[in-house]
A and B are shown apart, each in its own frame.
Chain A
Amino acid sequence: MKGLISLLLVLVCNISVAVEQAETIFKQHAPSLYQIRLIDKASGEKSSIGSGFQISSDGLIATNYHVISSYARHPEKYRIEFLDHQGKKAHLELKSIDVINDLALVKRDVEQEMPFFTIANSVPTKGEELYSLGNPHDLGMIVVPGTYNGLKKESFNDRIHFTGSVNSGMSGGPVVNKNSDVVGINVATSGNQIGFLVPHDKLLALVKVYNEQNNLTIDQQMEQQLNQYQKNLIGTLLKSNWPLRKLGEGMIPMIDVPFIRCWGESNADKSDALVMLAVANCSLEENTYISGNFFTGALEMEFRYMQAKKLSDVKFYQLFQRQIARVMPGNKAGKDDVTEFQCQHDIVMPENQLINNKAILCTRAYKDFNDLYDVLYLGISIDRDDQAFISHFTLAGVAQNSAQAFTSKFMESVSWK
């Protein structure tokens, strides 16, 4: 009992220490915290909000790219404004972005040197107490204590797993350690007490590039970053092992990297189904937000094995044809962002000669970014009367050579057992 009481006491002390710490940090840094708002010029009202924090004495402010994405894509439609702790509003200028790590640098005019956040130079330790700052749902600046839980493993881009509530509107706000050094930037949430942060080194890198004064426009920066990203991603995938696994009578490649995860489903419980169906679905569970409906950087693979149970081969293939005619891309990008899909098809047999496929490849180009494409592939086996095997993938935002190399490797990997 005594032990329990002392344990409770320790807990209470800890909490009160944390609260005190949070209060100090908040008071100390209030002048360097901002609400970032995008104002629609035509209506004069704010169209989106987020948080930001000053990182230099001359007015450089860091926030998330997705907070100011509408401005980055349509600078003629919006302007960026900040609201500081005293309720003052003023104009901000967009300086630089990192679309992959969801970071942006904006700048305010300053009359004299101002206080700012320092960026940490070391990574926190697992379990370390951190404080997330921001303005959730336009309710005013708050501070949320939480814990550092290391980097998210199933992610191609580094993201800190933060146990604490990160809510919308807090995006772009800093996360600091006890010494008030910035160790991350709020970026996303995955429900109760699970938040994701961009590690501080990404911000350091962006500031470094910004200070080197290269005069690329925002679109050019984006194009360069997307290009570099797809090169890294597809390069990593092609270098990885592609061990084969059985799905029904077919063999499917499982790319051996932690950030591609697979799920499965079948209709084995439905005894009256005309066709036995098993599906495996693998995808990269992250993508790069550009604006509106326009996401890129995604990868998705789907494999379907089908076996006719009480069905003639003619009907089996007829039903099969109806099914594949309904294929849609996951990326719902619109007319302003991409062209319509162009497709080619052929009968293709891989080198091992174990399967004969009808192969369909469709692609569409990005209108604002040179040599980036969305690619959709569909392989349909046509060599067995009562069994069919569909292999399918989509890649978003890849260069032609990456797309072709991936398609080639994928097509050579899928076969019958």
Chain B
Amino acid sequence: MEIIIEEISRGHKLLGRHKFAKQSINVGRGYHSDIILSDPHVCAEHLSIEFDGDNWLIADQDSINGCFLDDGNKPANGHIVRSGDVITLGKSQIRVVFPHHPVETSITLSPFENLINLTKHPVALFVNIALFAIITGWMFFLNNPKEVTFTQLFVPSIGLTLMFAIWPASVALISHLTKHDARIFTQLGLCFVFYNLTWFSDFIEALVKFNTSSQFPLTALLALLPISIAFCLFWLNCYVGFHMSGKRRTVVAVCLTTLLFGGSFLIEMSKKPDFSIRPHFNSTLLTPSFMFAKSSSVDEFIENSNELFSKAKKAAKEDE
């Protein structure tokens, strides 16, 4: 009769797995034991698991700290083992499984697994990071009203690139600490692909805002673009870095996205004064070559302003 004993951590992470074809297995700190635990709270001969012909039984070897079922206080001595039982001894835990114990259905390899792996390819990685640094530098250049030298652009763009590398590095560190594959290059590659996608979505947003009037009803939907990009990034971060169920991954990604955008929204709200004399309008400008929309006539513009005036009038009435 075969039996499998798994050493697990307190967080139920697998540390080691042993298969035995014996009638009796000893667990303890002593070197003669079948499973040797290094936990100082475990006795040299702590417990044994024995087969009596029908069942496996747990026998405490008069250990100092005893042995218990699961995390609870129920003594395990004399307990008839069922497949999957967890036994606590000292500060360690083991799990006993029989060979017929069912396993979860295999997860199919995601079709974009290959795509994800592509991002860690040295050339792809380099191109993405370089692209990000160049766009960042270019933005600094565009927003600087004075003439700037190359070094003046180089330093902030590299600085910002390094700062943005902190996120994938942290995710990789956390997955390493939780006994998962770190996959730092995959994380880096992924993140920079998505950072660059954000630049692209910014451009799309500017293009739409530049070409549409305030009458255009879908401008608010543009905000969904960066939100969905952030969601995808967080989802993939989880996919690459941790083994978790699809549902849990989605929940984590939603939480992180909410934290990011909800947080910035709250900060914005807290800074907003009770009353602002500054008019807020769409000031997006691109070069004439990006103008595709048809112009309205002055009369149409004035006609539309009727609505504007009635809105202002309504606001005045509401405050009275």
Q: Answer whether A and B are interacting partners.
A: yes
A-side residues, CB < 8 A to B, are 272, 274, 313-322, 324-325, 327-329, 332-335, 338-351, 356, 358-367, 371, 373, 376, 378, 380, 382-385, 400, 403-404, 407-408, 411-412
- CB pair B296–A348 under 8 Å, yes or no, is yes
The answer to whether A332 touches B277 (Cβ under 8 A) is yes
A317 and B320 CA atoms in complex are apart in Å by 42
**B145 to A325, Cβ gap below 8 A?**
no
B114 within 8 A of A: no
Instruction: Report the separation of the CA atoms of residues A272 and B302 in the bound assembly, to the nearest whole angstrom.
Output: 41
Does B278 sit at the interface, judged by CB under 8 A? yes
By the criterion CB–CB under 8 Å, are B280 and A343 in contact? yes
- How many inter-chain contacts with C-beta < 8 Å in the A-B complex? 157
The verdict on A314 contacting B309 (CB below 8 Å), with A346-B215, A362-B281, A367-B316 known, is no
Identify which of A317, A319, A339, A351 contacts B286 (C-beta below 8 A).
A317
Chain A residues within 8 Å of B277, by CB: 328-329, 332-334, 340-341
Interface residues of B in 264-310 (CB under 8 A from A): 274-289, 291, 293-302, 304-309
Tell me the complex Cα distance, A274–B143, Å. 13
Residues of A close to B141: CB separation below 8 A? 315
B271 vs chain A, min Cβ distance (A): 16
A376 to B278: give the CA distance in the assembly, Å.
11
Q: Which of B279, B297, B301, B308 contacts A329 (CB 8 A)?
A: B279
Q: List 19 A-B contacts (CB under 8 A).
A: A314-B142, A319-B145, A334-B277, A341-B280, A342-B308, A342-B315, A343-B281, A343-B308, A344-B213, A346-B213, A346-B300, A347-B293, A349-B297, A360-B282, A365-B313, A376-B279, A380-B285, A385-B288, A408-B298
CA distance A378 to B279 in the complex (A): 11
Cβ contact within 8 Å between B275 and A351: no
Knowing A318-B142, A344-B214, say if A360 contacts B281 (CB, 8 Å): yes
Give min CB distance, A382 to chain B, whole Å. 6
Q: B284 to A348, Cβ gap below 8 A?
A: no
Q: In the complex, what distance in Å separates the CA atom of A384 from the CA atom of B211?
A: 16
By the criterion CB–CB under 8 Å, are B311 and A342 in contact? yes
In the complex where A322-B143, A346-B215 touch, is A317 in contact with B285 (Cβ < 8 A)?
yes
Across the interface, which residues of A come within 8 angstroms of B107, CB to CB? none
Central interface residue in B211, B276, B285, B294, by most chain A CB within 10 Å = B285
B288 touches A383 (CB 8 A): yes
Q: Chain B contacts of A359 at CB under 8 A? A: 301
Complex CA distance for A411 and B276, rounded to whole angstroms: 27
On chain A, the residues within 8 Å of B284 by CB distance are: 321
Q: Choose from A327, A347, A365, A407 the contact partner of B302 (Cβ within 8 Å).
A: A407
Give Cα A264 to B213, complex, Å. 32
Contact of B304 (CB < 8 Å), options: A344, A356, A360:
A344
B312 at the interface (CB under 8 A from A): yes
Q: How far is the CA of A382 from the CA of B274 in the complex (A)?
A: 34
B104, CB-defined interface residue at 8 Å: no
Which of chain B's residues has its CB closest to A411's CB?
A: B298
Q: Give A376 to B319 CA distance when docked, in angstroms.
A: 22
Looking at A318, A334, A371, the one whose CB has the most chain B CB atoms below 10 A away is A318
Distance of A361 from chain B, by nearest CB (Å): 6
In the complex, which residues of chain A have a beta carbon less than 8 angstroms from the beta carbon of B301? 346, 348, 359, 361, 411
Q: Give, as a whole number of angstroms, the nearest-CB distance from A400 to chain B.
A: 5
Taking A342-B308, A363-B308, A367-B316 as known contacts, 18 extra A-B pairs with beta carbons closer than 8 A to each other, sorted by chain A number, are A314-B287, A317-B286, A320-B285, A321-B284, A339-B316, A340-B277, A343-B282, A343-B308, A345-B214, A347-B213, A348-B297, A349-B295, A350-B297, A351-B297, A358-B285, A361-B301, A373-B309, A400-B306
Interface positions, chain B 139-168, Cβ under 8 Å from A, are 141-143, 145-147
A364–B141 CA distance with the chains assembled, in angstroms:
37
Nearest CB in chain A to that of B274: its residue: A335
By a CB distance below 8 angstroms, the chain A residues around B285 are 317-318, 320-321, 324, 358, 380, 382
A342 / chain B contacts, CB cutoff of 8 Å:
308, 311-312, 315
The one of A319, A321, A347, A361 in contact with B291, judged by C-beta atoms closer than 8 angstroms, is: A347
CB-CB under 8 A from B300, the residues of chain A are 346, 348
CB distance from A322 to the nearest CB of B (A): 7
Q: B280: which A residues are within 8 A, CB to CB?
A: 341, 343
Task: Determine the chain B residues whose CB is within 8 A of the CB of A380 once the complex forms.
Answer: 285
> B215, B274, B279, B298: which contacts A327 (Cβ < 8 A)?
B279
Q: Which residue of B has the minimal Cβ distance to A372?
A: B316
Measured between C-beta atoms, what is the minimum distance from A408 to chain B in Å? 5
Q: How far is it, in angstroms, between the C-alpha of A333 and the C-alpha of B287 when the chains are bound? A: 36
For B312, the chain A residues whose CB sits under 8 A away are 339, 342, 363-365, 373
CA–CA, A332 and B278, complex, Å: 10
Given A334-B275, A350-B298, check contact A343 B305 (CB 8 Å). no
| B145 CB contacts on chain A under 8 angstroms | 274, 319, 322
Residue in contact with A385 in the complex, picked from B213, B287, B296, CB distance below 8 Å: B287
